[in-house]
Amino acid sequence: MMFRNALSALAFATLTVSASPVKTKKDSPTSVLPAPESTETASPVYDWSAGWKPKFPIHESCNSTQRAQLEEALDEAVQLAQHARDHLLRFGHESDFVTKYFGKNGSTATPIGWFDRIIGAQKTGMTFRCDDPDRNCETQDGWAGHWRGENATSETVICDLSFTARRPLSSVCMGGYKVASWKLNTYWATDLVHRLLHVPNISEGKVEHFSEGYAGALALAKEEPELSGFDSDVLQYFAIDVWAYDIAAPGVGCTGEPEEEEAEDKPTNTTTDVPSATSGAPDECHTHDDGVVHCS
């Protein structure tokens, strides 16, 4: 009897997971904690979850093919966030990745919270659009998209370049990719996590750029771990590094080594110049709400 009940509970749980709007990898541990579903079933009394829209709205300016690709990419961003959250929940500070990115005793609850907001926060009022309203796609060389900043804080523009240049999560660790030395926006999922963290609907205006680049992220965990959980680059590097190690190349990963110029934090005698963080040719930029253009 109990056994039967347990079995049907299990069957129900499986159903719930597969009915989720968020695709979870079938045999990944993420299925333990399914993303919330949007619920339309009205209760005659009170249904707290009525109107919960955890899916990302896509603007009507995106045509059918753009919408299809963007939906898939946003799904991947959610999968990436889900796995990052699950790794934090499963291992906490037993994971070397957690200590590496969030410091020896930085709280895991902070990054778990941001990943969860990407997964399940109410998404009404924010949108992704394809019509280049600020004409940055047209005029700024190499932009693949941008947050609209003061023009519309809840809107993100996706330029044509995103649809051709960004890679799927299935290709993590392929073609020589290394977390430490390649750009975060190599994968569309990390690129979108970055864009999402700029939108106050997700980040509550609390996630910022305190560090830049892989070396910067690791330095922050050592020097100011209380900021690591609020740092956009740290959250992205952590997510892609644990995806690589747990999912893409299990138990192996593809962390790699940082670029030489970024690895050198010991001062050399040859020059007193601090190595420029933007020494690579920028291929993706966005404008912060103070008007500062940030390229990575």
DSSP 170-220: GGTT-TT--TTTS-GGGBHHHHHHHHHHHSHHHHTTT-B-SS-HHHHHHHH
Instruction: Report the alpha-carbon distance of residue 5 to residue 25 in Å, rounded.
Output: 26
The structure tokens 């009940």 sit at 5
CA dist., res. 38 & res. 55, Å (int): 8
Q: Does 159 bind ligand NAG (CB under 6 A)?
A: no
* Element of type H or E holding 163: helix 160-165
Stretch that binds ligand NAG, among 85-93, 152-160, 227-235, 249-257 (CB under 6 A): 152-160
Please tell me the number of Cα atoms within 13 Å of 112 on its side-chain side. Answer: 14
Cβ 15 to ligand NAG shortest distance, Å: 28
Of the candidate residues 39, 61, 69, 154, the single one contacting ligand NAG (CB under 6 A): 154
Q: Produce one character per residue of 187-221: b if its CB has 16 or more CB atoms within 10 Å, e if not.
A: bbbbbbbbbbbbbebbbeeebebbbbbbbbbbebb
Binding-site string for ligand NAG from residue 44 to residue 83, where x marks contact by CB under 6 A and - marks none: -------------------xxxx-----------------
Distance CA 219, CA 288 (A): 23
x-marked contacts with ligand NAG along 173-202 as a string, rule CB under 6 A: ----------------------------x-
Q: Which residues contact 170 (CB under 8 A, 6 or more apart)?
A: none
Q: 83-142: which residues touch ligand NAG (CB under 6 A)?
A: 104-105, 122, 124-126, 134, 136
Residue number of the CB atom closest to ligand NAG = 125
Shortest reach from residue 289's CB to ligand NAG, in Å: 8
Evaluated on CA atoms 178, 182, 188, 189, the torsion sign reads positive
The distance of closest approach from Cβ of residue 78 to ligand NAG in the complex, given in angstroms and rounded to an integer, is 16
Q: Which two tokens stand for residue 265?
A: 């934090």
Nearer of residues 28 and 153 to ligand NAG, judged by Cβ? 153
216-255: contacts with ligand NAG (CB under 6 A)? none
Looking at the Cβ atoms of 178 and 209, the one nearer to ligand NAG is 209
**Nearest CB to ligand NAG, comparing residues 33 and 152:** 152
Q: Contact between 14 and ligand NAG (CB under 6 A)?
A: no
Stretch that binds ligand NAG, among 22-30, 44-52, 147-155, 168-176 (CB under 6 A): 147-155
CA dist., res. 112 & res. 236, Å (int): 13
Q: Which residues bind ligand NAG (CB under 6 A)?
A: 63-66, 104-105, 122, 124-126, 134, 136, 146, 148-149, 151, 153-154, 160, 201, 269, 287
